[in-house]
């Protein structure tokens, strides 16, 4: 290998090492508000070796954010996930700050795996029957496979 190739390889390894260190530091910062504050500090003035990192990678590295919340924030703010930290505009930075600020504070707890939804009754719709088998099936005569048909 040439000296130029070895220098480029060493620089690439240093960039990967510094980004990995930053991601570990952000993931270890507790509570979530402190991690978001540290992430906003990086967003405001990224180090030269970290400047090529994408916004999505930074958000995912934050403690308590993860892939789902990062994608939601990027979707709500309209920031392209592939935008590098060096090319984030002032307006995008402002929108990301507001989006991340919404994650700070107590979050509603969900009990169980399913949320209960309410269904509005449509005007003119028939009321639900009290029990199974209250009357004939809608449409008239029973079908041939029914146990009531003889």
Higher pLDDT, 124 or 87: 87
Summary mean pLDDT of the chain: 85
What is the per-residue pLDDT across 88-138, written as a single tens digit (0 to 9) for each? 999 999 999 999 999 987 666 666 666 656 656 566 666 655 555 555 666
The pLDDT-based confidence of 66 (bands split at 50, 70, 90) is very high
Query: Checking phi first, is residue 88 left (phi over 0); if not, alpha (psi -120 to 50) or beta?
Result: beta
Map out the domains of the chain as residue ranges.
3-101
**Architecture (CATH level 2) of domain 3-101:** Orthogonal Bundle (1.10)
Inform me whether the pLDDT recorded for 19 exceeds 80: yes
Higher pLDDT, 45 or 147: 45
- State residue 121's pLDDT score: 57
What is the per-residue pLDDT across 27-47, written as a single tens digit (0 to 9) for each? 999 999 999 999 999 999 999
- State residue 111's pLDDT score: 67
- The mean pLDDT value for 64-85 works out to 96
- Helices 3-28 and 32-44 pack at an angle, to 10 degrees, of 150
Q: C-alpha distances in angstroms, 92 versus 64, 75, 98, 101?
A: 21, 12, 10, 14
- State residue 139's pLDDT score: 65
Q: How far is CA 101 from the centre of its chain?
A: 14
What's the token pair of residue 4? 């130029």
Inform me whether the pLDDT recorded for 75 exceeds 60: yes
The whole-model pTM stands at 0.69
Higher pLDDT, 147 or 61: 61
């Amino acid at each position: 290998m040439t000296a130029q190739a070895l220098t480029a390889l060493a620089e690439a390894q240093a960039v990967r090492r510094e980004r990995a260190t930053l991601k570990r530091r952000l993931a270890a910062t507790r509570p979530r508000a402190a991690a978001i504050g540290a992430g906003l500090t990086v967003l405001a003035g990224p180090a030269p070796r970290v400047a090529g990192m994408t916004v999505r990678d930074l958000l995912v590295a934050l403690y308590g954010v993860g892939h789902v919340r990062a994608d939601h924030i990027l979707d709500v703010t309209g920031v392209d996930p592939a935008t590098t930290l060096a090319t984030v505009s002032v307006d995008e930075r402002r929108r990301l700050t507001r989006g991340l600020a919404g994650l700070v504070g107590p979050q509603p707890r969900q009990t169980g795996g399913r949320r209960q939804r309410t269904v509005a009754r449509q005007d003119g719709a028939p009321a639900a029957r009290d029990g199974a088998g209250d009357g004939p099936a809608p449409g008239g005569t029973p079908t041939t496979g029914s146990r009531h048909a003889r």
